[in-house]
Amino acid sequence: MLWDFEYFEPANITEAVSLLQKYGDEARVIAGGTDLLVDMKNEKIQPKFLVSIMKIPELKCIVEDGAELSIGAATTLAEIEESRLIKERYGLIHEAVKELGTVQVRNMATIGGNICNAIPSADLPPALVALDARLKIVGVNGERTLPLEEFFLGVRKTKLKNELLKEIVVRRPPERSGTAFIKLARTSEDLAIVNVAVRITLNKDNICEEARIVVGGGIGPTLLRSREAEKIIEGRRVDEEIINRAAEVTSQGFQCRRDSIRAPPEYKIEVGKVLVKRALMKALRRVNGEE
């Protein structure tokens, strides 16, 4: 095992991004380390320079401004779980974070790490995409914003180029919205076989104005937002029959690999369909105040 690296603890974002720029592919950001250190221990990666972001105060925040919530990338999952604001107004994030790992993991792990590891079975990205999350990314040449949905290029591949994820911004769900997150895993501490996050927003006549159906887990190289299934629901009065059709169409978009260690494709497709249906039914009951 080779543990030969230089460790930096920059005090601000400018210092952090200049280190990332200077050391390029030989450097890695470390936040909670719950993914990175496992990969280093297993010798999957051997960075020569580690840039810790945990001493940068700007990266640790949970702030609501108008109808938008900003979460700093180095905010821990435990801080998110404990946030009353998130529990009351962004229940989908609270629901997803509770399902992630163990208390010990959530105490260390960060929201930024859960996104930047680009593991398709990560639990927060589907919930965040269902809330139209945008990422604020910083590099030496300044800041850019990217929809989270467009951030992933494949398993462990993102659009970051020697850059730092600074902040995640989500929209507060409009009035008459219902959301739900459901995860199926082999054990309560394991990564998802399939996870599903949905949002439906109804108008005063109970017609669906906006739907989001997002599935993660081992159903493809990145999470899947099923726009086709969303179109089945939008503009209609939502009932069980429409939900069944949307669930069927969502599962048709899965690209499961046969060599997955968690479950075979046939199982993921069947179970994914059931979970999408259950999540949409739950979201509908929640809009109607029945749950």
Ligand X SMILES: Cc1cc2nc3c(=O)[nH]c(=O)nc-3n(C[C@H](O)[C@H](O)[C@H](O)COP(=O)(O)OP(=O)(O)OC[C@H]3O[C@@H](n4cnc5c(N)ncnc54)[C@H](O)[C@@H]3O)c2cc1C
- Footprint of ligand X (CB under 6 A): 28-36, 38, 53, 73, 100-101, 105, 108-110, 112-114, 116-117, 122-123, 160, 164-165, 189, 191
* DSSP single-letter state for residue 42: T
Smallest gap from residue 146 Cβ to ligand X (A): 13
> Closer CB to ligand X, residue 45 or residue 67?
45
Minimum CB separation of residue 29 from ligand X in Å reads 4
Q: Give, in degrees to the nearest 5, the angle at Cα 120 between 119 and 125.
A: 90
Asked whether the beta carbons of 239 and 285 are under 8 A apart, the reply is: no
Q: How far is the CB of 124 from ligand X (least distance, A)?
A: 7
C-alpha–C-alpha distance, residues 254 and 272, integer Å:
9
Cβ-based nearer residue to ligand X, 187 or 204: 187
Of 101 and 178, nearer to ligand X (C-beta) is: 101
Strand ranges (E), 156-291: 157-158, 164-171, 177-185, 192-202, 208-217, 224-225
Residue 184 tokens, joined:
């199926």
State the DSSP code for 105. H
Bridge partners for 171 per DSSP: 68
Q: Which is nearer to ligand X, 29 or 247 (CB)?
A: 29
Residue 286 tokens, joined? 């929640």
> Shortest distance, CB of residue 239 to ligand X, whole angstroms?
32
Q: In the bound complex, what is the minimum distance in angstroms from residue 263's beta carbon to ligand X?
A: 15
Measure the CA angle with vertex 250, ends 245 and 256; round to 5°: 140
Residue nearest to ligand X (CB): 113
Q: Shortest distance, CB of residue 133 to ligand X, whole angstroms? A: 14
Nearer to ligand X, 32 or 178 (CB): 32
Beta carbons within 10 angstroms of residue 72's beta carbon: 23
Which two three-digit tokens encode residue 10? 């920059």
Residue closer to ligand X by CB (options 111, 233) is 111
